[in-house]
Structure 1
């Protein structure tokens, strides 16, 4: 609560001081920021940082692509193993309980279980 009051007081103070300074002071600050941003040293540094960010983004994208590919391969292998089983799925499904629905199409594989007391 105390932090909110301090924040609101600081905001109100800034508003009052900004209103007193007026448009002329705003123009001075905007001009100074424009000169700073236009400085060749600043622009050189901005360019370096943009290049570095681009390189890091490419590396992250490549790493993510590798990990997704590996995970997809692993999942595909697991699914193939689950559905191919030991070769004869008709005997395993007929001898198992009604909870095994590996013979059903993918859209029909959910069960609703009711608690039994």
Structure 2
């Protein structure tokens, strides 16, 4: 599934960069992409995929930390560091698509 999505994104990007239709067509594609991102089904699928990824990462962290032991930092301390880096970089708010970056 990941490869299909990557292919479609690459195809769309190639079309946008290679099109000779000009700014009008670009704006039309941008509007279509924004509408697609606002679609509740797409948003639900993205949230579901994100949740599944977070669950998998949590399980993987647990398994790795059991094998490695005390060499890994505390899970909550690591999450705090990531949040502070995002805030320092200006992330964590709304992006151009109206979705959360967190």
Higher relative CO (Cα under 8 Å, sequence separation at least 6) belongs to 2
Q: TM-score normalized by structure 2?
A: 0.50
Q: Which has the larger share of helix?
A: 1
> Which structure would you say has the larger Rg?
1
TM-score (norm 1): 0.43
